[in-house]
Structure 1
Amino acid sequence: MRGVATTLKEQGLDAAALFAEVGLSIDDLDDCDRRWPTEELSRLWVLAAERSGNPDIGLAKFDAPRPHNYGVAGYAMMSSPNLLTGLTRLIRYMCLVSDAVAITLEQGDGGRWVRTDVFGGECPIPRQRYDYGVVNLLNLCRWMLDRPLTPLSTRFSHAVPMSIAAYNRAFQSPLEFDAPFNGFLVSEQDLACKLTTSAPELAAIHDRIADEALERLVRTDIAHRARAAIAKLLPDGSPLRSAIAAELGLSDRTFQRRLADEGLSFSDLVEDTRRELAQRHLADARMTLTDIGYLLGYSDQSTFFRASNRWFGESPGEYRSRVMEGHRRDIALARGT
């Protein structure tokens, strides 16, 4: 959030006023343990794009390395011997930075995808939020290698914008829009490269500090990891709590207790995960409503339609039309009309 505030200020916006307009206080940036509501962050990016008149504002300051924005997770990454180990460390400690963001490594053609997923809560995730997150992570990797790092490819789940000039400047790689996920493909050679920030004598210290912080956040971490496990198993139908506990390496009783400590129920967690996945998939025009219902674990469309009316107050088709209309407004903003 410090990085977001800095970006807004550098673009000539009144960051404090924008924060306040979406119900946030910029003074809370001084609280390093502050957890920011994911819905308000999405609204903040939408407002910033509107007020600046720049739909590419998430890419506006792509050349400024800000490793401190990742806190102890960033320092653990920096002290690693090579980029692959550093990314693995960042993934391990990412929930210290945000419990609304998941970073994963997936095998790709000639390298690995560094994939970013955002849990948006009740708000659709604006493209500016993904733009900012993906380019800042890539730039952190470039800074630690102390040399140019060109991805083999870069993907975004949102539709192709009116102009891709900002994306070309930021990523300097082949671009794919309307993609199944957001992220960039790093070659095996780049992943094996030594980091200029590597500090073996500090790695153990950073890990210890980060592990202690993880222990304090274990309840949030459990909920965050459980959502990812639920999303993975949903196509097979509503998952059993015991199955998710097994995915997390916990007994069913321990999993239930930790959810209760966080004030969560398993059924609410499944419901929230379905809603967030529905928002993401309905914003992808390539996916049919039948496919989305399947991915959400619904055996028939009528159950999916009832769930959509419960979540959004409208049918899946109506929700999709509203999101598409928002995208058309984005295009009009880019045209300056």
Structure 2
Amino acid sequence: MSRGARRAMISLTAATGLLEMIEARGRDPDEVLGPLGLDRRTLGDPHGFIADADFARVLEAAARATGDDAFGLHFGEHYHPKNLGALAYIVVNSPTMGIAFENAARYLRVHNTGAEASFVREEKWAYLRHRLTDVPVEIRRQHQECSMAVGLGAVRLMAGSNWSPVEVQFEHPEPVDVSELYRVFSAPVTFGREHNALVVESELCERAIPAADARLYPIMQRYLDDALSELPPGDDFVQSVRRAIGESVRHGEPSLSHVARRLAIGGRTLQRRLREYGADFKGLVDDTRRRFALRHLADSEITLTEVAYLLGYSEVSAFNRAFKRWTGSTPSDHRRQRVSR
């Protein structure tokens, strides 16, 4: 990949259980992954990322190797949506179904920069649309069927296990055997459409989500807004590193090896490429935390303990020391000065 080139990446949380499913179908995952230049270690890291096109190739290769023409659909059917992490938690903790659909569309790029989603509500029907933007057309089918099945599972977490859409629409041509698609979605399925979409009754959007956690919702919203702000606006390697740091920081001190794994490159390669741009890993971590801290402190509803947690500090005292090193004042003093202005 040339300097500055950017690949659309998908979180490897999307591959949770994939190796086990290949094995359950009687195939060796190494035989599926090897020809693609991948291995178990790469796919088995839930904190990492992989090129979205590579993920699509894995699903296509698994379908061929197992003889299951609907492998992607079946993987998505058995995938638990909460494995998606923050994206799933903001969706299922949204106040209403309509807001849940809006959040899914807004924050999907935090999970997959190679996908676009939109939510369109009309008088009678509403459409939750999904489209892969960085995967060649000829290898999209398994990925698209997997993604739509995961979307179905997410809606059923909120609307009940027996819920079904009015219609399911796919971009790709109609497969030879569509019986499994009808079984999984329990709805009419059409092909060759402009978008992949779940079509639902518009009135569903007004339904409250009974199990939604009103306390967790704004915390996840702030976390995902931060992650979204770190997405690279263009072909910028440093911005990709910033994004990976931003997504890692809530789990503690982001290490170089951990961030490198998220970017699917080696630690030495990460250091070398940052030097090419005149950047330093520790400096990027510090700057990311500093900017996050200033943003969180501007919101008076977030306590200092919560700010420390969102920045990956186990103790408020450690956050206080870091913030004073960055700005010359403590977090509480900084917040008081903002209020007095």
**Into which bin does the TM-score normalised by the smaller protein fall?**
0.5 to 0.7
Amino acid corresponding to residue 44 of structure 1 in structure 2: V
Q: In structure 2, how many angstroms separate the alpha carbons of the residues matched to 1:65 and 1:50?
A: 20
Amino acid corresponding to residue 169 of structure 2 in structure 1: R
Q: Any unmatched runs of 5+ in structure 1?
A: 224-260, 262-337
2:134 to 115, 120, 126: 120
Q: How does 1:297-316 map to 2 (within 5 A)?
A: none
Decide whether the 8 Å contact of 1:93 with 1:214 is kept in 2.
yes
Q: In structure 2, how many angstroms separate the alpha carbons of the residues matched to 1:174 and 1:68?
A: 26
1:54 to 57, 68, 74: 68
Of 72-81 and 188-197, the range deviating more from structure 2: 188-197
How much has 1:187 moved relative to structure 2? 0.9
Q: In structure 2, how many angstroms separate the alpha carbons of the residues matched to 1:147 and 1:46?
A: 28
Decide whether the 8 Å contact of 1:78 with 1:198 is kept in 2.
yes
2:176 to 158, 162, 166: 162
For the pair 1:40 / 2:54, whether they are aligned, the reply is yes
Q: In structure 1, how many angstroms separate the alpha carbons of the residues matched to 2:21 and 2:131?
A: 21
Q: In structure 2, how many angstroms separate the alpha carbons of the residues matched to 1:173 and 1:21?
A: 37
2:40 to 23, 26, 36: 26
Q: In structure 1, how many angstroms separate the alpha carbons of the residues matched to 2:235 and 2:130?
A: 17
CA displacement 1:164-191 (0-9 Å, x = unmatched): 1101111111121122221110112222
Change (3 A) 1:55 1:110: same
For the pair 1:15 / 2:29, whether they are aligned, the reply is yes
How much has 1:22 moved relative to structure 2? 0.9
CA displacement 1:97-155 (0-9 Å, x = unmatched): 11011111134572211111002345633311111001111111102223422111111
CA displacement 1:206-248 (0-9 Å, x = unmatched): 112222222333446999xxxxxxxxxxxxxxxxxxxxxxxxx
Change (3 A) 1:30 1:59: closer
Decide whether the 8 Å contact of 1:96 with 1:214 is kept in 2.
yes
Q: In structure 1, how many angstroms separate the alpha carbons of the residues matched to 2:125 and 2:137?
A: 33
Change (3 A) 1:122 1:164: closer
For the pair 1:66 / 2:80, whether they are aligned, the reply is yes
Partner SS, residue 138 of structure 2:
coil
- The residue that corresponds to 2:196 in the other structure is 182
Amino acid corresponding to residue 35 of structure 1 in structure 2: F
- The residue that corresponds to 1:86 in the other structure is 100
User: Percent identity among equivalent residues?
Assistant: 20
Change (3 A) 1:178 1:97: same
Decide whether the 8 Å contact of 1:158 with 1:179 is kept in 2.
yes
Partner SS, residue 128 of structure 2:
strand
1:2 to 15, 37, 45: 15
Change (3 A) 1:6 1:116: farther
Decide whether the 8 Å contact of 1:38 with 1:119 is kept in 2.
no
Q: In structure 1, how many angstroms separate the alpha carbons of the residues matched to 2:120 and 2:41?
A: 38
Decide whether the 8 Å contact of 2:93 with 2:214 is kept in 1.
yes
Decide whether the 8 Å contact of 2:81 with 2:150 is kept in 1.
no
How much has 1:198 moved relative to structure 2? 0.6
> TM-score under structure 2 normalisation?
0.59
Q: In structure 2, how many angstroms separate the alpha carbons of the residues matched to 1:11 and 1:195?
A: 36
The total of aligned residue pairs comes to: 224
Decide whether the 8 Å contact of 2:60 with 2:139 is kept in 1.
no
Q: In structure 2, how many angstroms separate the alpha carbons of the residues matched to 1:191 and 1:162?
A: 34
How much has 1:24 moved relative to structure 2? 2.1
2:119 to 85, 94, 105: 105
Q: In structure 2, how many angstroms separate the alpha carbons of the residues matched to 1:159 and 1:121?
A: 16
Q: In structure 1, how many angstroms separate the alpha carbons of the residues matched to 2:163 and 2:101?
A: 14
Q: In structure 2, how many angstroms separate the alpha carbons of the residues matched to 1:102 and 1:8?
A: 28
> TM-score under structure 1 normalisation?
0.60
Change (3 A) 1:192 1:179: same
Q: Any unmatched runs of 5+ in structure 2?
A: 1-13, 238-276, 278-341
Decide whether the 8 Å contact of 1:153 with 1:184 is kept in 2.
yes
How much has 1:13 moved relative to structure 2? 3.2
How much has 1:62 moved relative to structure 2? 5.0
- The residue that corresponds to 1:250 in the other structure is none
